[in-house]
Amino acid sequence: MKKTFINQEKLTEIVGQYPTPFHLYDEKGIRENVRNLQKAFSWNPGYKEYFAVKATPNPTILQILKEEGCGVDCSSYTELLMSDTVGFTGTDIMFTSNVTPREDFVLARKLNALITLDDITHIDFLEEIAELPETISCRFNPGGDFVIDNAIMDTPQVAKYGFTREQMSEGFKILKSKGVKHFGIHAFLASNTIANEYYPALARILFKTAVELNQETGAHIAFINLSGGVGIPYLPDQEPTDIAEVGRGVQKAFEEILVPAGMGDISIYTELGRFVLGPFGHLVTTALHEKHTHKEYIGLDACAANLMRPAMYGAYHHITVMGKENEPLDHIYDVTGGLCENNDKFAIDRKLPKIDIGDLVVLHDTGAHGFAMGYNYNGKLRSAEVLLKEDGTTELIRRAETPEDYFATLDFSKWNK
């Protein structure tokens, strides 16, 4: 059974200070999780976690991760700006983007970030607008299906990202001829998998590719970026990823493939936004309305604008009714928000205890790709973000939007004469 990282008494106290809905983050859990991740890969002297900023783009969260020795993975101009403001510099920043605007590459080069190219045409594009760096990474897409133990995990062949295998070899030769001295390889082949075998299987593909590219081009492979994809157990009966076991699996592949090839100096990088932050965020809401028609409905004061994943993907987020954790799950509800869209449902036919108006309702696992995917459809305003600090105090790390924020980009002057 999933449990909240905060009890009802403390949460009621916080709600008295910050009106619902808001996203709440657990600093203690975040720090402990990062340390466990780093321990799992401590066998690799150059290991570094580059947190995917897109998962939780908040400077206070980034500062916590910076203090824990993480870098950042950015995919846009504004993520680069935020990371620079927090104090990430140089190779603490990985810039991995696609369909990249000119100004994004220019800023990434100005910050001396590690750049991952998504397409072979980006070599000339980057060179045209900014001098090529001495170290650069290329994103690899092997095509076909990605299979583990005869099970298809994902289908890279339909993904818009990355170089083909032939383009990787050609691209390394071109970059080397233009003065690039050190290379990285990046790949993302499956999303949100809790199988311990995922990273080791991906590592074996990339390690073998690295050996081949070194032999074909003479390029020095400095790092291999396993990127993201390691998931979290959204469902209550799922087992979490054993990150220590994952680390051992990658180490075994490293020692079997890279070390015999004389490439044991390669650094391993990861970009684990969901794994690092996901379980350590709650969307805290209040039951606002109930409706009894063809089904039983509970309406929350949050909506898909606060948490898009259920509406967009049909994704499961566990729900706890605070103070009723031990009561029987003898009611079946659709739990909804107030958007004028029928897919604005956090849960469909979910077994829950009886929910009364005013109950605090917590949606689990919103620490990554929760607030970040928010939007303003129907004029809905994005919620606050609150940090539950290690000492039990709280900090408002993003205030809730106001109507003034929503209207800030509009010019009403011709109506206000």
Over residues 14-60, the pLDDT tens digits come to: 999 999 999 999 999 999 999 999 999 999 999 999 999 999 999 99
The pLDDT, as a whole number, for residue 317 is 98
What is the Cα gyration radius of the chain?
23
The pLDDT, as a whole number, for residue 158 is 72
Threshold 0.85, pTM exceeds: yes
CATH domain 27-278 topology = TIM Barrel (3.20.20)
- pLDDT tens-digit profile of 270-295? 999 999 999 999 999 999 999 999 99
Catalytic residues: 340
- pLDDT tens-digit profile of 97-153? 999 999 999 999 999 999 999 999 999 999 999 989 999 999 999 877 666 665 545
Domain boundaries, the chain: 27-278, 279-407
Over residues 193-218, mean pLDDT: 95
Displacement of CA 236 from its chain's centroid (Å): 20
CATH architecture, domain 279-407 = Beta Barrel (2.40)
DSSP-assigned beta bridge partners for residue 385: 23, 398
Name which of 171, 315, 348 is nearest 231 in CA terms: 315
Using the structure block, give the residue that is written with the tokens 């015999």: 260
Amino acid identity of 147?
Answer: V
